[in-house]
Amino acid sequence: MRELPKILFVAATESDAIQFISRLENPRTYKQKVGLVHGGIWHYTSAKCLITGHNPDATAAALREAIQVDKPLAIVSIGFGSALSSALNVGDVVVGVNFINQIGLGSQYKPIVLQQTVQEMMRRVIRSVPGIGGILGSIVTVFDPVRNPSEKMSLHMSTQCDVVDQSAIAIANIADEAKIPFVVARSIFDMSDERVPELERYVREKARLSSSRIIGKLAVNPARIFGLREMLGRAKLCRERLEVFTEAFWNSLLEGKETAAVKTEKSS
């Protein structure tokens, strides 16, 4: 029996990857030393989704362990990000080609730039799905969330990056070290002139919204229901855009491997 190709998704929370996890056939779940893994079959592919949390060092440790256990054909990091560029709107998908480290003192992650051939592939993928508002861009990783518009502007001016997140640089470093093709895609949850909502106030274990916490907040301030509805709507839009991009990327990757196989057969 032919071995299925393998793909490893990486997400900070189950909420970020819920649409992927919910579609796995023959699903299974297990814990690593660091991180939680959902496995199964996705589009006739052996697929796993590694849940790492937001800490960049924990993300790196979890990804390194997952690679050692089952070396994948490709790594796809999906998640939400905050816009630093004023040109980005909610839901736009930024595919990282430059990765910058702003975690702080002692952080050892080096800047990563995707090879030009990989950038061209990403550009073709984005063009194939124009509805997601996709661009190639730069992602800067920090340790703590950048919440205020003034902080976003300052970070944008100092780095010239398009998006800020809490894990991209770690993922890029580990994938580059292992020489495994990777893509990091961030869908914009909040724009550059918006304050980041403190979602952790509404979240319990495994990043699921807590109804009891929501009810408690609404009892104090009923007007917050509109803000919560908007957050849920944004999260849904971001997940849908990431799903469209991910499928287009995987199809492109498989087409490339099939083309390479045909060329090899003809030359032999």
The answer to whether position 147 is within a domain reads yes
Top-confidence residue, 150 or 218: 150
Domain around 104 = 6-267
The answer to whether position 1 is within a domain reads no
The 10s digit of each residue's pLDDT in 84-109 is 999 999 999 999 999 999 999 889 99
CATH number at residue 77: 3.40.50.1580
Distance CA 140, CA 101 (A): 6
Classify residue 101 by burial, with Cβ atoms within 10 Å: 0-12, 13-18, 19+: buried
User: How many domains, the chain?
Assistant: 1
The 10s digit of each residue's pLDDT in 25-34 is 999 999 999 9
- Residue 226 phi/psi, 5-degree rounding, is -70, -40
Q: Are 182 and 77 in contact (CB under 8 A)?
A: yes
**pTM for this prediction:** 0.85
